Amino acid sequence: MHKVLIIIGDATETVDTLYPYYRLIEGGYQPVIAAPEKRTFQMVMHQVKPGWTITKEWEGYSIDADVAFADIKENEYLGIFFSGGRAPEYIRYDADLVRVTKHFFETNKPIGCVCHGVEIPAYADCVRGRRMATVPKCQFDLEVCGGIFVNEPCVIDGNLVSGRTYHDHGHYIGPWMKLLDEARESAGGR
């Protein structure tokens, strides 16, 4: 069974993480939760609310990491998904995560990204000239690193498929899964 990484940390958005997790299982893939270390992480739920608070946050489910960033062997994975929430704001500085991120961009493997997840490939200098969707408050992070912000529910730029928030999962996860299916077929089927 082909393995696909899902990148998380404490304060990863619950729906951003679990929706692709279960879609991968449904598609016949083995989702692998990757984080700064192998332990239990606390997820959160986010909702944009009108007014000064910008984002309302609730505690979500917890999830166990299967592998620490430092222990990832990139060649073992067919694709990668960058989950949203607050986690990308601090995990993006992890040198092993940067190494892993660069691998997927350089080898043209299927990449999925939502919401604040953009902060990871942006910091890793992988978004220059790439079109991406992200939550509008991360538009600056994308553009200052050379990316092109597109305010749509699904943006496909080669091997990179992105959405703005969990509201877009039904629009961009399917095309990302299609890229994974094509990569799996090229690699010799299931």
Q: Where are the domains of the chain?
A: 3-186
Cβ(4)–Cβ(31) under 8 Å?
yes
On the question of pLDDT at 50 being above 90, the answer is: no
Q: State the Cα–Cα distance between residues 34 and 152, nearest whole angstrom.
A: 27
pTM here? 0.96
More confident of the two residues 168 and 189:
168
On the question of pLDDT at 7 being above 70, the answer is: yes
On the question of pLDDT at 55 being above 90, the answer is: no
Please give the share of the chain, as a percent, with pLDDT higher than 70: 97
Instruction: Tell me the angle at which helices 14-26 and 169-186 cross, rounded to the nearest 10 degrees.
Output: 40
pLDDT score of 48: 72
Q: State the Cα–Cα distance between residues 66 and 131, nearest whole angstrom.
A: 31
On the question of pLDDT at 2 being above 80, the answer is: yes
Q: Which fold has domain 3-186?
A: Rossmann fold (3.40.50)
Output the average pLDDT for the chain.
95
More confident of the two residues 159 and 56:
159
Q: State the Cα–Cα distance between residues 12 and 59, nearest whole angstrom.
A: 10
Kindly compute the dihedral angle of the four CA atoms of residues 66, 72, 73, 79, in this order, to the nearest 10 degrees. Answer: 70
